[in-house]
Amino acid sequence: GENVEQHPSTLSVQEGDSAVIKCTYSDSASNYFPWYKQELGKGPQLIIDIRSNVGEKKDQRIAVTLNKTAKHFSLHITETQPEDSAVYFCAAKGSGGSNYKLTFGKGTLLTVNP
Amino acid sequence: DTAVSQTPKYLVTQMGNDKSIKCEQNLGHDTMYWYKQDSKKFLKIMFSYNNKELIINETVPNRFSPKSPDKAHLNLHINSLELGDSAVYFCASSQVGRYNEQFFGPGTRLTVL
């Protein structure tokens, strides 16, 4: 089955700096890669996603890149703000019999210091 | 508001009891999920129903039994609760297609004493 590795597990940055979180996946047939933000006491919220036919996607201060050859994808947050502090999860969706299933990374606790 | 909702938000109970968590989505999706998030924040799929049919059933003790009365509802019943069942349980829903974006509920924090 799919295996998703996420790094780093914790990340601390100063307000205004950039933050990068990286994930690798094992199933070359995976075709969808969402990123979720989970604030304390809340459910994961989908913030951006990328599909396998696209190499990069941007939405305001957040961007995601995908390298299918290397089987890795990354989340980039620019001009970080204290409200960006949360746990971020990457995930990958398989294909065929695993079409329904998202496999999640173990999460990155991002702390943005004012 | 269109959303995935869960009840209750908090559940504190004694070992050995039986409890249920309810989930409803009004997004018009055809697939619903239960996830367990442990103390280390790891999100693990437990079950998934598509159009009321069980399609994902991960290695979960048979004390856990999901039930989907219709496409908009997926409940989770847990028998003989154990200390290790303490966790946050999340419901999610999606419209199955090529990409399957999943939307999560607010979670139910279960504490077994």
pLDDT in tens, B22-32: 999 999 999 99
A-B contacts (CB, under 8 Å) = 58
Report how far residue A106's alpha carbon sits from residue B64's, in angstroms, rounded to the nearest whole number: 23
Report how far residue A32's alpha carbon sits from residue A54's, in angstroms, rounded to the nearest whole number: 10
pLDDT at B8 over 70: yes
Average the pLDDT over A67-82 and give the result: 96
Quick check: helix, strand or coil at residue A98?
Answer: helix
Q: Flag if B45 and A101 touch (Cβ within 8 Å).
A: yes
Please give the pLDDT value at position B87. Answer: 96
Query: In percent, how much of chain A has pLDDT > 70?
Result: 96
Please give the pLDDT value at position B75. Answer: 95
Distance to chain B for A45, nearest Cα, Å:
7
Average the pLDDT over A62-90 and give the result: 97
Collect all residues of chain A within an 8 Å Cβ-Cβ radius of residue B90. Answer: 43-44
Collect all residues of chain A within an 8 Å Cβ-Cβ radius of residue B97. Answer: none
Q: Which residues contact B45 (CB under 8 A, 6 or more apart)?
A: A101, A102, B33, B34, B35, B56, B58
Q: What is the pLDDT of residues B56-111, one digit of tens each?
A: 888 788 999 999 999 999 999 999 999 999 999 999 999 877 677 899 999 999 99
Please give the pLDDT value at position A77. Answer: 98
Report how far residue A101's alpha carbon sits from residue B97's, in angstroms, rounded to the nearest whole number: 12
Collect all residues of chain B within an 8 Å Cβ-Cβ radius of residue A89. Answer: 43
Please give the pLDDT value at position A104. Answer: 94
Please give the pLDDT value at position B3. Answer: 92
Closest in B43, B101, B106 to A89, CB measured: B43
Q: Of A81, A74, A67, give the one whose Cα is nearest residue A16.
A: A81
